[in-house]
Chain A
Amino acid sequence: ETGVTQSPTHLIKTRGQQVTLRCSSQSGHNTVSWYQQALGQGPQFIFQYYREEENGRGNFPPRFSGLQFPNYSSELNVNALELDDSALYLCASSSLGEDTEAFFGQGTRLTVV
């Protein structure tokens, strides 16, 4: 167990809807990153949050947005869901500026129908 928890574990949404995924980072970690992993692919970086600010973003449209809270937990919001958004969404926590590894949660599997 990594201490990184994500909720919910599974979710089914309809195209055009909005979804919010949640992540609690490991104790002592101040940075959360979100990744999208399509079936049969490696995780793709969506964005990273450090001290409640976005600190880097991958090649994802603005309808993917996030938040980080003072306790370092985080949310990923996706608006106007598309069928291609169906994937495993992973969050990873670490400590920015320290030589520490990143630990992943178990993921949220999102299915868009």
Chain B
Amino acid sequence: QKEVEQDPGPLSVPEGAIVSLNCTYSNSAFQYFMWYRQYSRKGPELLMYTYSSGNKEDGRFTAQVDKSSKYISLFIRDSQPSDSATYLCAATPSNTGNQFYFGTGTSLTVIP
């Protein structure tokens, strides 16, 4: 069993839709959770960084972590064609380094 599981999609939505991306994880020691966006043939770009359970909002993006169910979510409101990319969730036990465990990534296409 992988440490972090993520549905690879692909996911296709019309412009303006609300997008929900999800991951599950198995390691109870994970405390920090990240969402990265990766455009084709580029390095991952950090979108959201959260600690423990709860919600964090940044513009059109909201990250949710539910440690009781080991569930990580990213919501994108008013999706734009420029949001078309692969979204990677990641988790780590501590903030003392960057030994992250990544999901496989979900490919998202926002259709104009």
Contacts and interface: CB of A to CB of B under 8 A. Distances in A.
Are both chains from one complex?
A: yes
Interface of A: 2, 4, 6, 31, 33, 35, 40-45, 48, 50, 55-56, 58, 88, 90, 92-94, 96-107, 109
Contacts of A97: 96
The interface centre, meaning the residue of B34, B44, B103 with most chain A CB atoms within 10 A of its CB, is: B44
14 contacts: A2-B45, A31-B98, A40-B105, A42-B4, A43-B102, A45-B99, A58-B99, A90-B43, A92-B98, A94-B98, A101-B34, A102-B34, A105-B43, A109-B41
Given A42-B88, A42-B102, A107 B43 contact: yes
Given A90-B44, A101-B49, A106-B42, A45 B97 contact: no
A96 B99 CA distance: 11
A31 B97 contact: yes
A33 B97 contact: yes
B99 A104 contact: no
B100 A102 contact: yes
Interface residues of B, number: 25
Contacts of B101: 45
| Chain B interface SS verdict (over half) | loop
Contacts of A45: 99-101
Contact of B98 (A2, A6, A102): A102
A31 B41 CA distance: 24
B95 A99 contact: yes
Contact of B99 (A48, A90, A93): A48
Contact of B104 (A33, A42, A105): A42
B18 interface: no
Contacts of A103: 46
A93 B100 CA distance: 12
A90 B36 CA distance: 13
Contacts of A56: 97, 99
Given A104-B44, A107-B42, A42 B98 contact: no
Interface string B23-40: 000000000001010000
